Amino acid sequence: MVAHHGGPPEIVIVGGGLSGTALAIKLLREARQALAIRLVDPSAQPGRGLAYSTQEPGHLVNGPALIFTLYPDQPEHFVDWLTTQPEFAGQPRDAVAQAYVPRWRFGDYVSEQLWQAQQQAAPGVTFEHVQARVEDLDVSSSGIALALDAGRVLLADHAVLALGVFQSRPRFDSSGQLTQTGRYVANIWDCSRLAALVDADELVLVGGSLTMIDTVVSLEKLGYRGTYKVLARHGLTPVERRNPAPTEEPFGSVGPPHTLRQVVRELREKARAIISLGGDWQALPGALKPYLADWWRNAALTDRQRFFRHVRPHWDVFLHRAPPVSAALVTALRASGRLSIEAAIVTGLAEAPAGRVSVRYRPRGSEEECTILARGVVNCTGPDYRWHAGCEQPLVHNLFSRGLVQAGPVGLGIAVDPSLAAVAANGVASLHISVLGAALRGTIVEPGTVVEIANQTSTLSSRLLAVLRVTQAPAALQVS
């Protein structure tokens, strides 16, 4: 990192969700010489991103408060913070630690940590939130130029791509007509469009992940009383999360297997054994955490590809479970007949008479298409990680078209080297661009968890600050 005039070296973080904000906090806390940190994000408040910006109280973190912290060396930091909040006043600490809190409260926590880090930063270490969207990025021998949506240009010494997740956009409504009439909702976070469906008698939800559960929670709170038909590729939906103590040594004294096939086989056998003894198979996910990073790093590319092709949907149900109250809502709706789930692939939508939508789908295992009519359709397919395959974000498109980055090892996200430097199309690791968070999907098996983001920010901040100390850079580029 080499600065280029009278100011301090500058790092620009592109993206103000959890990963980008966590890096800013880490740099502010650990930098000991002059450094300018700019975080560029269009949102009004950094630290929330898509996951933690929802204001719906029923959208909960999908684990107890005890497993959420920005500081791995202080595992109860978030719990400590919650005990100071009015809604937890007087509650036993153990109850607070096991609470599933609204996601916006974790966003509050991250934002407060950012503010505190700014107040406690060393002299000459500064932070600025630039409320804009980066649309293009260019690299030269003198540094980086970032073009913003307002026509402004930022110049910097290093850019960190903390782009978060992008909403999957199936091409169901290519003409846009169904979206315009409100009968197709492409983005579940558009509350006004969801509210417009409250009086419908039947809705089709495409996708069965945690996004679907969030959608049902929102619609029920809005007063929807019709039926839901969920069409999910594998017919799977997250189960209720329980928190038994992790099982001891899930793979025995010999350690984890070396191939995906062996891992899956042994996990199934272990789960059956636990259940046969009256135990809870959910003791397994927590026990796997120490193995995940090394297992994935050492797995053959063919194993990784098989994982995403065949195992990933089952893995998501296994690992990403739903908060108990949310899972209970879905269970009750299924029991009452208001919600049904079918394994199927939606192949198209079309306008139908009487203000309805014709939904074409192919049941799993069948070659024949079926059609049903509904009052509305909601896209619940969740994030899309195949960014290079047609991402609508100008920055992502330009990064790939310029050859500044290449797709990750299984065709997802962005490729990096072990230090999280972006790997260009020519295979060379960048000196100016690094990557964090969801864009590492494929390189890291679960890159978006709070613990994993903390590990990534530790790796990256250490490298950036080490370079800064070595270069003793006296200056940085400025804003034009």
Residues 176-225: tens digit of each pLDDT? 889 999 999 998 888 899 999 999 999 999 999 999 999 999 999 999 99
Q: Say yes or no: 461 and 396 in one domain.
A: yes
23 part of a folded domain: yes
Work out the pLDDT band at 470, boundaries 50, 70, 90: low
Q: Residue 475 pLDDT > 50, yes or no?
A: no
Phi, psi of 339 (to 5 degrees): -135, 130
Q: How crowded is residue 272: how many other Cβ atoms within 10 Å of its Cβ?
A: 11
Q: Residue 436 pLDDT > 80, yes or no?
A: yes
Q: Say yes or no: 366 and 413 in one domain.
A: no
Q: In whole angstroms, what is the distance from residue 143 CA to residue 158 CA?
A: 7
DSSP letter, residue 251:
T
Q: Which domain holds residue 465?
A: 10-59+102-165+385-471
Q: How many domains does the chain have?
A: 3
Q: Residue 330 pLDDT > 90, yes or no?
A: yes
60 three-state secondary structure? strand
Q: What is the pLDDT of residues 14-54, one digit of tens each?
A: 999 999 999 999 999 999 999 999 999 999 999 988 889 88
Lookup: tokens for 5 = 């005039």
- pLDDT value of position 110: 96
362 part of a folded domain: yes
Q: In whole angstroms, what is the distance from residue 329 CA to residue 217 CA?
A: 8
Q: Say yes or no: 40 and 121 in one domain.
A: yes
68 part of a folded domain: no
Q: Minimal CA–CA distance to 184: which of 437, 375, 18?
A: 375
Select the highest-mean-pLDDT range: 108-112, 138-142, 276-280, 300-304. Answer: 108-112
CATH number at residue 229: 3.50.50.60
- pLDDT value of position 390: 59
89 part of a folded domain: no
Which residue, of 299, 316, 333, is where some domain finishes? Answer: 316
Q: How crowded is residue 8: how many other Cβ atoms within 10 Å of its Cβ?
A: 21
Q: What is the pTM of this model?
A: 0.91
1 part of a folded domain: no
Helices (H), 31-76: 49-52
Q: Say yes or no: 337 and 197 in one domain.
A: yes
Q: Say yes or no: 52 and 139 in one domain.
A: yes
CB 168 within 8 A of CB 379: yes
Q: Is the dihedral of CA 400, 406, 408, 409 positive or negative?
A: positive
Q: What is the mean pLDDT of the segment spanning 400-416? A: 92
79 part of a folded domain: no
H/E run at residue 246: none
Q: Say yes or no: 326 and 310 in one domain.
A: no
Crossing angle of helices 18-30 and 450-471, rounded to 10°:
40
425 part of a folded domain: yes
Considering just the CA atoms, what is the radius of gyration of the chain in Å? 23
65 part of a folded domain: no
Q: Say yes or no: 35 and 145 in one domain.
A: yes
Q: Say yes or no: 397 and 454 in one domain.
A: yes
Q: In whole angstroms, what is the distance from residue 293 CA to residue 266 CA?
A: 18
CB 111 within 8 A of CB 48: yes
Q: Say yes or no: 136 and 196 in one domain.
A: no
Which residue, of 316, 334, 358, is where some domain finishes? Answer: 316
Which residue, of 300, 316, 332, is where some domain finishes? Answer: 316
Q: Say yes or no: 144 and 221 in one domain.
A: no
Phi, psi of 435 (to 5 degrees): -135, 145
Work out the pLDDT band at 476, boundaries 50, 70, 90: very low
CB 298 within 8 A of CB 258: yes
CB 364 within 8 A of CB 234: yes
Q: Say yes or no: 40 and 138 in one domain.
A: yes
How high does pLDDT run on average in the chain? Answer: 89
Q: Say yes or no: 208 and 349 in one domain.
A: yes
